[in-house]
Amino acid sequence: MKIIDIYFSNKGKRIMIVIFAFIMFYLVSYVLNPYSRWWVEYINSSYYEILGEMTITFLFCVIMSESSIFMHKLLNKRFPWTQAPLKRLSIETIANIILVLILIFFQVLIHIALSGEEKREMSPQDLTDFAQFIVVSILIGLMISGINTGNFLIMNWKSSAMEALENKVKAAQHEQAAAEAELLALKLQIDPHFVFNNLSVLSELILEDQQLGYEYAENFSKVYRYLLLNAKKDLISLADEIKFIHAYIFLLQQRAGTGVQFNIEIDPALNHLRIPPLTLQLLIENALKHNKLLKDDPLKISIKGTDSEELTVSNGIKALDRKPVSAGIGLDNIKKRYRLLGKALPTIVQDSQQFTVIVPLIKL
């Protein structure tokens, strides 16, 4: 709900404004002219007459207050305070004065219709009292307008402050999630086993097959370049993520041999969509970490993308004898980043044979 709707739906505040207007109406009238004929007649009136007059005044204050609120809401849509404050202030002031004069006009018509005094000539004292009534009504109308405006601006300021604070918190959470993803990537970079294994494989390939060794070195550099350039980003195109994954898979297959098999089927129409960087790498790492890699029964990992604007990453289950200590870190990081982006979270589907993660793709 918008702040303007929250404010104007607060019945307690609206009632308080009416009561304030009612009290101020009598107070200002008395301060302006405590010896007017109206006050003399008012004091000498019966309780029934005083109650009737107060009821009419209260209804007048209710109508004036509600009309002022309606005018305020209308002007907020047509002339917001953020666009031209001075123009808005001038328009609202003039509009409230006109509104009060219209209400007074109808009140006079009702009084004439009920009393039948349309032909009665007004004395100078009557004109003075009527002028005082107009001045007091306009002052009360402007007070109501000022209260409405002040409360609205204060609540709007509070809402903006809270929204700014929430954005700061969300930005900090984004940074934390990005830092965690970067940390995972850095761990991969500085992991001596990862580095030495790749260098060892590279040296062997160079001796055995120079062309394959060259391809391995090229993909090795692509992986590191991607990790360095994109780990801190919130989103990256699916096309770039898939290029990185192909390079990363090339390295894995040279090390793991036939212990793992990959099947990637991505509809080219999805390449423009976005995904948090390293999402697929973390899912592959998760699959490798939790399953055995057997040459005679390789682990099969499938990455598929269809026109449903989501990726399905699945792998068979060949559970290890002991559960890894860091189980779930990669999946938690992916979910956290999607949550902070305000997008639908990845869905995990698991049975005794298959582990599947459905990853939503994001439109910009």
Are residues 133 and 47 part of one domain? yes
Are residues 30 and 78 part of one domain? yes
- Asked if residue 21 is part of any domain, the answer here is yes
Are residues 24 and 132 part of one domain? yes
pLDDT at 7: 46
The string of DSSP codes covering 66-90 is: HHHHHHHHHHHHHS-TTT-HHHHHH
Give the residue from 286, 177, 189 showing the smallest Cα distance to 228: 189
The string of DSSP codes covering 245-298 is: HHHHHHHHHHHHGGGEEEEEEE-GGGTTSEE-TTHHHHHHHHHHHHB---SSS-
What is the number of structural domains in the chain?
2
Looking at mean pLDDT, say which of 16-30, 118-132, 149-163, 268-282 comes out highest.
268-282
Are residues 160 and 200 part of one domain? no
CB–CB of 360/309 below 8 Å? Answer: yes
φ, ψ of residue 347 in degrees (nearest 5): -110, 135
- Asked if residue 230 is part of any domain, the answer here is yes
138, 169, 200 — which closes off a domain?
A: 169
The mean pLDDT value for 313-328 works out to 79
169, 203, 237 — which closes off a domain?
A: 169
CB–CB of 242/264 below 8 Å? Answer: yes
Are residues 158 and 38 part of one domain? yes
Are residues 161 and 199 part of one domain? no
- Asked if residue 164 is part of any domain, the answer here is yes
Burial of 275 per CB tally in 10 Å (0-12, 13-18, 19+): buried
Give the residue from 306, 300, 318, 316 showing the smallest Cα distance to 356: 316
Are residues 236 and 148 part of one domain? no
Dist CA 84 CA 281 (whole Å): 51
169, 199, 232 — which closes off a domain?
A: 169
Give the pLDDT confidence of 66-78 residue by residue, as tens digits. Answer: 887 787 778 878 8
Looking at mean pLDDT, say which of 81-95, 208-222, 275-289, 317-331 comes out highest.
275-289
- Asked if residue 319 is part of any domain, the answer here is yes
Are residues 117 and 29 part of one domain? yes
pTM for the full predicted model: 0.51
Are residues 99 and 10 part of one domain? yes
Are residues 155 and 25 part of one domain? yes
| pLDDT band for position 271 (cuts 50, 70, 90) | very high
End-to-end CA distance of the chain: 25
CB–CB of 155/6 below 8 Å? Answer: yes
- For residue 322, pLDDT over 90 is answered with no
| pLDDT band for position 121 (cuts 50, 70, 90) | low
- Asked if residue 183 is part of any domain, the answer here is no
Domain CATH code at residue 277: 3.30.565.10
pLDDT at 30: 77
- Average pLDDT value for the chain: 79
pLDDT at 130: 74
Are residues 341 and 207 part of one domain? yes
- For residue 275, pLDDT over 60 is answered with yes
Dist CA 275 CA 236 (whole Å): 6
Residue 159 DSSP label? H
pLDDT at 354: 93
Are residues 351 and 221 part of one domain? yes
Which residue segment(s) compose the domain that 221 sits in?
A: 191-360
Dist CA 363 CA 344 (whole Å): 12
